[in-house]
């Protein structure tokens, strides 16, 4: 299947592909390399992984098997909150690079905030990884408005994104406004709410109008917003191809507005009790 390459979004000197392939929770690890490789062969140029996911070795192997030049693939990885202290953070970055078989990643994120370690210490380690050439760009993930404001004030190097849960079933207006105020991209994890909205009558109706699937409508709604990137997971070849097939059509203003009303469902699908911060009010 021939698909267009996803457009890129700009922030603080970075040019990040709008669409990434999320690599969390592969149920069949032996199938992971095949899936990641198919994503690259289908036109994906952004792979999202993390130390916590355990998928970094498969990402590296698929990249090598693809034959694509290194500079054509944007790789994001993350340092887990267990490694928020500076020395632990540095070791985590080294471990990730070794697992990936790379000398640098394109984007390094703080995966979750860690209240037991001063944010300034973790941000210093994040910035050092960039200055040392281990990451071309840096950012945060799952940061609330107060944490984001603190990070922007204290990080010695520019941040480019906050990766957050955002989809048609959750309202994140205030947090997205804060990201835009700071010139950050919004990267959406769980952009399909783990499938929760795919039977919604509004999504299904709009999909039938365009001859697209509900997933494609839900993803298109996200990327059609300003400075919003997505990293959906896909566990089947067909889903990989489905998720990239969102750049050959557009939703009307009326359709965009209809989907906005679904945010009143206020469904948060990623809410781990152990490490979640106090979420912003909608």
Write out pLDDT tens, residues 157-180.
999 999 999 999 999 999 999 999
Give the DSSP per-residue string, the chain: ---PPPPEEEETTEEEESB-EE----SSHHHHHHHHHHHHHTT--EEE--TTTT-HHHHHHHHHHHT--GGG-EEEEEE-GGG-SHHHHHHHHHHHHHHHT-S-EEEEEE-S--TTS-HHHHHHHHHHHHHTTSEEEEEEES--HHHHHHHHHH-SS-EEEEEEE--TTS--HHHHHHHHHTTPEEEEESTTGGGTTTT-HHHHHHHHHHT--HHHHHHHHHHTSTTEEE--B--SHHHHHHHHTTSS----HHHHHHHHGGGGG---S---TTT---PPP-
So what's the pLDDT on residue 5?
74
Write out pLDDT tens, residues 244-260.
999 999 999 999 999 99
- Catalytic residue list: 53
- What structural domains and CATH numbers belong to the chain? 8-195+225-246 (3.20.20.100)
Asked if the model's pLDDT at residue 224 lies above 70, the reply is: yes
Confidence of residue 188 (pLDDT cuts 50, 70, 90): very high
């Amino acid at each position: 299947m021939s698909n267009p390459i996803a457009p890129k979004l700009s922030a603080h000197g970075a040019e990040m592909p709008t669409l990434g392939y999320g690599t969390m929770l592969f149920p069949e690890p032996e199938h992971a390399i095949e899936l990641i490789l198919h994503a690259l062969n289908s036109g994906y140029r952004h792979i999202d992984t993390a130390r916590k996911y355990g998928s970094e070795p498969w990402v590296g192997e698929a990249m090598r098997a693809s034959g694509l030049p290194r500079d054509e693939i944007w790789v994001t990885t993350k340092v887990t909150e267990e490694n928020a202290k500076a020395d632990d953070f540095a070791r985590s970055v080294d471990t990730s690079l070794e697992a990936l078989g790379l000398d640098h990643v394109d984007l390094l994120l703080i995966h979750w905030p860690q209240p037991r370690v001063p944010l300034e210490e973790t941000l210093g380690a994040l910035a050092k990884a960039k200055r040392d050439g281990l990451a071309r760009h840096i950012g945060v993930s799952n940061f609330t408005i107060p944490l984001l404001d603190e990070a922007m004030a204290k990080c010695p190097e520019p941040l480019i994104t906050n990766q957050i849960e955002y989809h048609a079933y959750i309202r994140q207006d205030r947090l997205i406004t804060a990201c835009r105020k700071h010139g950050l991209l919004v990267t959406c994890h769980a952009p399909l709410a783990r499938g929760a909205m795919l039977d919604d009558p509004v999504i299904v109706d709009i999909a039938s109008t365009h001859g697209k699937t509900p997933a494609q409508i839900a993803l298109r709604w996200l990327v059609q917003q300003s400075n919003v990137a997505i990293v959906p997971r896909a566990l089947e070849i067909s889903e990989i191809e489905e998720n990239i097939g969102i750049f050959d059509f557009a939703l009307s203003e009326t359709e965009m507005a209809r989907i906005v009303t679904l945010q009143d469902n206020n469904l948060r699908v990623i809410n781990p009790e152990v490490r979640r911060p106090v979420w912003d009010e909608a």
